[in-house]
Every structure is written in C-alpha cells, then in structure tokens.
Amino acid sequence: MGEVLRIAGGKRLEGEVWLPTAKNSLLPILAASLLCAGPVRVRQVPRLTDVDNSLELLRAAGMKARREGEDLSLSPGQPGTGSLPDGPVGAMRSSVFYLAPMLHRCGRVSMTLPGGCPLGPRPIDIHLDGLARMGAEGGWRGERLTLEAPEGLRGVDYTLRLPSVGATETLLMAAVRAKGITVLRGAAREPEVVDLARFLMACGAHICGAGTGTIWIQGQERLSGAVYRPVADRIVGATVLAAAAATGGRVTLRRCVPAHLEAVVEVLVRAGCQAQRLGPAALMLEAPPRLEGAGLVRAGEYPAFPTDAAPIVAAAFLRARGNSHFEDTVFASRFSCAAGFSALGAGVQAAGRRLDIRPFGPLKGACVTAPDLRGGAALAVAALQAEGVSLIGGTAHIRRGYGDLAALLRRLGADARWQDEESTRTFDGNKGKNFLVSCAESSIRP
C-alpha cells in the first residue's frame, strides 16, 4: 500500500528548527570511511533511506557498521570482493562515491549504473576520466562498470571539464591515498566538498585549497579513523526558510551556517522578508503575509543560488504579487514539480531549464506526485499555502533526503502527516465525490 504526505494548508509557520546533518556531506563521508585503517564515528546521522542504502554498500565492502544512538560507528573488517549489490547502487547517485575508496580497499570495483533523482542526463564521465588518469583500468560492459587498479592509484595534475561536485569528491578520495601529489583544477567549491576534505584531514590526509577551484593533495599510504560531525544541511535550511516565506511565517534556524544560505536569504529579502543573523550558527527570517515577485533567480555552482533549493524556493513564490523566473544552469530537468504546482492552481510554466511563475488565483489542495527529492519538498511548500487538503505521493523520493518532513513542518505549526493512501480516501470521504474522483484520477503512485 502506498504512503502519501497529507498537508492541510493555510497555517502560518512559526518556530525554531535545529538543522540536521547534510545528506550530501554525509554520503561521501560514509564512502570515504572505506579509506580508513581505523574506526570512524560519524555524529548525528539522520534516518534517511540513502543512509540505509549506504550502510548496505559499506557492509558489502567489508565494513562493520552499526547505529549507536544518533551516531554511526564504522570499523574495517575483511575487504570484500569489490562487487557492490545492484539494489542500493541503483537506488541512489551516491553509489558513485564508492568507486575510488573500493579501488584503494579492494583493488577493484564492480557495480551497476548509479541511480538518483531524474534531473536530466547525469553522466559520470569526469569521475571515470579522472580515475583513469590516476591509473584505474576497465570500463562499462553493458550496464556494469568494472574498474581495477592493480598497481594502485597515482597522483596527477587534472583539470575537471566542469566543476562537478561528485567528481571533485571522487577524485579527492582517490588522491588522498594515491602515490604522490594530485592537483585538481576546476574543482567544485560547494560546502559539502569542503566538509569531505575536513573529514579526510581529520583522518590524517594532507589537503590544501578545498573550497577553491584548485585543490592540492599529498597522498598518504594510510589514513586513521576519526570522530566527525558533518556540516548542517543547507537544503533543509532552505526548505524551512521557503516554508516560512510561503506562509507569512517567522522561523529561526539553529545549528546552521548562515554563509551557506546567503544566496537563498538574499532572494527572500528582495521579496520582502526580513532576515537577521543571531550569532555564528543561527538565522532568523520573518516573512510578510505575501511576497513580492522574485524577479530572475539563476541557480548555479556555489556560491550562486543552490540548484537543490531552486524548486523549493520557487514554490514559496506561487502566491507572490509579482512575476518570478527561476533558471537552473546545473541540471536540465530541475522543475518537474511544475505539473504539481499547476494542479494546485498556480500560474506556472516550465520550459527546459526555466520555470516562470506569474500571479494567479488562490492555490487549492490537490493530489500531486513528487517527481524527485527536491521537487517533493517543493510540493510540500506549495501545499502549505493551498486552501484545503493536499496529498503528495511519491514519498519515497522525499524520504531519501528528509528524515521526517511531516514532523519537521508540524514542529512549526503545520498540519502535516504521513498517511497510507487507502486510509486517506476513507478519512477524506466527507469532502465528497469530486475529491475522491480527483484522487483516483491523479497520478499518486508512491
């Protein structure tokens, strides 16, 4: 039986949220633990399906992994054969992070195509090209990728063809235990890259320049373990800010890095919100009852507006007084949630990398489907502003990146909860036939 996220809109959100650990920092760090000879303890690990899948991969690679309260404890056991199970590999993009650590740990890696959100083409050519320059041999046979490094990996001077976050992280993990010095040019500068470098340095790696376009790495034969708490999740932060902005609310983010949210806050302030830093790790945002239009917002590489936040913040502008235009320069299909926005009654048009929003009538609750992780969060932000009940299907996407989005929103006063699809039909029967028919005809297929 499928699950839906049920949101009754119209509540003004108010309160305080402690940001969880960033999924996109945590997942490469979990893979990087395979590079360590000693135990690793990762602090405050949220319960995400991507973490469950990572644990399966780590165990297949011979790591002993167990949860201890909020922490994850990882220690090296016997290295496996280098083959990774198809299920978890195909369930997330982050399985690509296992290539370099497995080459160091097992001398080989064999896996199927990594999965992840359908955001347009997501090739891994830069990961593979960089690894090949460092001495990895092999390639695709059908949909199976097998790489070997019989002589180990060696340092190189490598220029990435574009600043891919994932490829920078792959090559960083390859370089910290390669023979000699690696220079990565044209590297991604995202906070999650810096966080991975910090974790690796805590384990004894020598890295200089993470967070800039050029990273120098002196390879080490051995890395120890470490106790590490990854950085706070800036995209969950952006989600909470967008939810407050959408509902004329007021929220305080705690355990956040305000600098990581600067581009998002700037757009919301331009639209009439007030923001204030409350010390080094807290940020308050207060929204007017209705936002002004956002104008043109262009998402790109850090420190530009984050691509992951684009559909979510766009959702806050569905009721705005003026026009908003969001453009994503990173992924080709970032705005698949536009169909859901339209179903809720918004005046939106998505074409290619662009989403245009114009003032339209009020939003009305509807049955919609999350097309991907951030698109799902965007539909939740949209539903918070709609009159009546919305049901969001495709919740498996949302659960990959938000521990419990319903609980997070409820803490701020929203009427949001998970329900199984069948009981939703019965529960909302008093809304009459039209509502049931629209649900039955909608594309809820979690």
List residues near ligand EPZ by CB under 6 A. Answer: 23-24, 27, 93-94, 117, 121-127, 162, 164-167, 188, 190, 307-308, 330-331, 373-374, 401
**Residue with Cβ nearer ligand EPZ (195 or 421):** 195
- Rounded-to-integer distance, Cα 303 and Cα 390, Å: 34
**Residue with Cβ nearer ligand EPZ (291 or 405):** 405
- Rounded-to-integer distance, Cα 58 and Cα 40, Å: 12
- Rounded-to-integer distance, Cα 411 and Cα 340, Å: 25
Instruction: Identify the residue whose tokens are 């991907």.
Output: 372
- Report the amino acid identity of residue 363: L
Q: How far is the CB of 101 from ligand EPZ (least distance, A)?
A: 15
- Rounded-to-integer distance, Cα 68 and Cα 158, Å: 39
Neighbours of 436 (CB within 10 A): 15
Phi-psi region of 44 (alpha: psi -120 to 50; beta: other; left: phi over 0): left
Residues designated as active site: 117
- Rounded-to-integer distance, Cα 46 and Cα 125, Å: 30
Q: How far apart are the first and last CA of the chain?
A: 9
Q: How far is the CB of 305 from ligand EPZ (least distance, A)?
A: 11
189, 344, 346, 371, 422 from 361: Cα distances, Å: 40, 10, 7, 24, 30
Closest by Cα among 425, 378, 441, 427 to 405:
378
113, two tokens: 């195509």
Bridging pattern class, strands 274-277 and 250-254: unpaired
Q: How far is the CB of 413 from ligand EPZ (least distance, A)?
A: 26
Q: How far is the CB of 234 from ligand EPZ (least distance, A)?
A: 10
DSSP 8-state code for residue 232: B
Q: How far is the CB of 165 from ligand EPZ (least distance, A)?
A: 4
Q: How far is the CB of 24 from ligand EPZ (least distance, A)?
A: 4
**Residue with Cβ nearer ligand EPZ (123 or 280):** 123
- Rounded-to-integer distance, Cα 37 and Cα 41, Å: 13
Neighbours of 159 (CB within 10 A): 12
Closest by Cα among 55, 52, 20 to 40:
55
371, two tokens: 């097309």
**Residue with Cβ nearer ligand EPZ (97 or 341):** 97
- Rounded-to-integer distance, Cα 194 and Cα 132, Å: 24
Q: How far is the CB of 422 from ligand EPZ (least distance, A)?
A: 29
Instruction: Identify the residue whose tokens are 């390639």.
Output: 139
Q: How far is the CB of 11 from ligand EPZ (least distance, A)?
A: 26
- Rounded-to-integer distance, Cα 168 and Cα 183, Å: 11
Computed from CA positions of residues 21, 26, 29, 31, in that sequence, does the dihedral angle turn out positive or negative?
positive
